[in-house]
C-alpha cells in the first residue's frame, strides 16, 4: 500500500468533539503561530504547519511521536491543559493524515458542509511556515496537491453551491429572528476573514438600515468604505460604547485572545442581540447574564441549515472521487521520490562521460567543441535519463532491478 512517512501526523481538535468554549482554550493567536513555527525550526523539526480557526486547532508535521507535536502546541495555545486536550483530540498518522487533509481542503470536514473558509486559512498557515523555513519537500508537495484537489472539487462539483458558511449562517439567523433589517443598526466588530465575509453577506442579503464597522487596523477599513453604499460608516474601537448604545445588533469577529466586548460597553437595560463569531469567545461571560441581551455563539449559528445543504450532500461522492484521483497523483510522486538518488547517480555518470568525451574530441582535433556538439550531447544525456525515469515507476515490478543495475554499472568509481 502506498503511504507517506510513518512519522507524519495531524494532531488537533475540532467542532466534532469540542464545543466553542473548549476550542477557545486551545486557540493560538497569529503571533503565537509565528513563534511556534520558529520554535519548531529551532528544534530541527522537518516540517510543521499550524492552523487555528473558529472550528479547529491543528498541527501538521513530521515527528518521532505525536506527543512531540502536542508538546510544541501546548506551549502556545490559549490556556488549556494537555489532559483536557487529550480528552477531545484526534491523531491521524501517515496515510490517514493525508486523507484527513484532502477531505479538509475539499470542504468535507467543515462544520457547514462545503464551507471553503478553511482553505484560505490553511494557505495563510502554510505560507507563514514556509516564510520561516518550516516546510520540507514532502509537505510542500502535499500542499500543492491539496490545493489542486480543493480547486477541482470547487470547479467540478456543486459541493459549495449556494452560499452556506458561518458568516452566511450569522446573517440568516438575523433574518429569521427579525424578518428584515432595513430598520436595524448593525455594529460589526472585527475585519478578519469571517468579519469581511459577514460584511459582504450583510449587504447582499440583509441590507441593514445602518452598518457600523469597528476595527483596530484602519488599513482594512479603507477598501471597504471606498465602495460602500449609503448607511455604512466606520468607528474606532474606543468609540464602541457610544456606537453600541445606538445599535440593535452586534457581530463580534475580532479573534482576540481575551474578550473584546464586556459588560462595561453595554448600557444597562439596552436591548441587544450579539453574535459571537470568535474562538475563543470574544464576548465576556457576564454579558450573557444581562437581561436585555441575547448572545449567540458560533456553534449555535452553525446549526442553521437550508435546502442548499441537501444538494451539497448529494455531491459528496463526486468530491470523494476527485480526492482519490489527486491523492493517487500525490502517491505516484511520492513513490518516484525514492528513485531520485539512482536517477541522480545515472545523470552525474553520464555527464562525466560526456565531459570526458568532449575533452578527448577537443584534444584530438586541436579545437574546442562547438556549441552545437555540446547541445546535441547534452540532449542525449537528458533523453537517456528520462527513458530510465519513465521505466522506474512505483507500479513497475522491475524498478528495483533497474536501480540495482544503475548503481552497479554507473557508480562513479566503476565508470572511469
Active site residues: 54
Q: At what angle do helices 137-156 and 95-105 cross, to 10 degrees?
A: 40
Q: State how far the Cα of 308 lies from the Cα of 164, in Å rounded to an integer.
A: 8
- Answer yes or no: are the C-beta atoms of 200 and 229 closer than 8 Å: no
Phi, psi of 378 (to 5 degrees): -65, -40
Query: Rounded to whole angstroms, how far apart are CA atoms 235 and 238?
Result: 8
Distance of alpha carbon 371 from alpha carbon 289, whole angstroms: 83
Cα 122 to Cα 128: distance, rounded to the nearest angstrom: 10
**What are the strands of the beta sheet with 272-276, ordered from one edge?**
232-235, 210-214, 185-189, 249-252, 272-276, 293-297
Residue given cell 500500500 in the structure block: 1
Q: What is the 3-state secondary structure (H, E, C) of 350-379?
A: HHHHHHHHHHHHHHHHCCCCCHHHHHHHHH
What does the alpha-carbon distance between residue 262 and residue 20 come to, in Å, rounded to a whole number? 18
CA dist., res. 312 & res. 209, Å (int): 33
Amino acid at each position: 500500500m502506498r503511504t507517506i512517512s510513518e512519522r507524519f501526523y495531524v494532531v488537533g481538535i475540532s467542532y466534532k468533539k469540542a464545543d466553542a468554549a473548549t476550542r477557545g482554550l486551545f486557540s493560538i493567536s497569529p503571533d503565537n503561530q509565528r513563534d511556534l513555527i520558529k520554535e519548531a525550526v529551532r528544534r530541527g523539526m522537518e516540517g510543521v504547519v499550524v492552523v487555528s480557526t473558529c472550528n479547529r486547532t491543528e498541527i501538521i508535521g513530521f515527528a518521532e511521536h505525536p506527543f512531540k507535536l502536542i508538546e510544541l502546541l501546548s506551549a502556545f495555545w490559549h490556556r488549556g491543559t494537555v489532559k483536557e486536550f487529550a480528552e477531545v483530540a484526534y491523531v491521524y498518522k501517515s496515510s490517514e493524515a493525508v486523507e484527513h487533509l484532502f477531505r479538509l481542503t475539499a470542504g468535507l470536514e467543515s462544520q457547514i458542509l462545503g464551507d471553503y473558509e478553511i482553505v484560505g486559512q490553511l494557505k495563510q498557515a502554510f505560507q507563514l511556515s514556509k516564510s520561516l523555513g518550516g516546510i520540507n519537500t514532502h509537505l510542500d508537495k502535499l500542499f500543492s496537491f491539496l490545493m489542486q484537489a480543493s480547486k477541482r472539487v470547487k470547479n467540478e462539483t456543486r459541493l459549495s453551491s449556494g452560499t452556506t458558511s458561518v458568516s452566511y449562517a450569522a446573517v440568516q439567523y438575523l433574518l429569521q429572528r427579525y424578518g428584515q433589517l432595513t430598520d436595524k443598526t448593525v455594529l460589526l466588530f472585527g475585519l478578519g476573514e469571517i468579519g469581511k465575509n459577514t460584511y459582504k453577506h450583510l449587504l447582499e442579503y440583509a441590507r441593514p438600515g445602518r452598518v457600523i464597522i469597528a476595527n483596530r487596523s484602519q488599513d482594512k477599513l479603507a477598501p471597504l468604505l471606498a465602495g460602500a453604499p449609503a448607511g455604512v460608516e466606520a468607528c474606532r474601537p474606543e468609540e464602541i460604547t457610544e456606537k453600541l448604545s445606538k445599535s440593535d445588533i452586534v457581530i463580534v469577529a475580532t479573534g482576540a485572545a481575551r474578550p473584546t466586548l464586556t459588560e462595561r460597553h453595554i448600557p444597562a437595560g439596552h436591548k441587544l442581540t450579539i453574535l459571537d463569531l470568535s474562538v475563543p469567545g470574544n464576548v465576556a461571560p457576564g454579558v450573557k447574564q444581562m437581561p436585555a441581551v441575547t448572545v449567540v455563539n458560533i456553534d449555535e449559528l452553525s446549526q442553521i441549515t437550508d435546502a442548499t445543504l441537501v444538494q451539497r450532500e448529494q455531491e459528496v461522492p463526486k468530491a470523494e472521487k476527485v480526492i482519490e484521483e489527486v491523492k493517487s497523483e500525490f502517491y505516484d510522486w511520492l513513490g518516484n521520490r525514492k528513485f531520485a538518488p539512482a536517477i541522480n547517480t545515472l545523470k552525474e555518470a553520464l555527464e562525466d562521460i560526456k565531459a570526458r568525451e568532449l575533452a578527448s574530441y577537443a584534444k584530438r582535433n586541436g579545437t574546442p567543441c562547438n556549441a552545437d556538439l555540446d547541445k546535441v550531447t547534452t540532449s542525449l544525456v537528458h533523453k537517456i535519463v528520462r527513458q530510465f525515469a519513465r521505466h522506474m515507476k512505483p507500479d513497475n515490478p522491475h524498478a528495483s532491478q533497474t536501480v540495482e543495475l544503475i548503481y552497479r554499472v554507473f557508480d562513479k568509481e566503476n565508470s572511469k
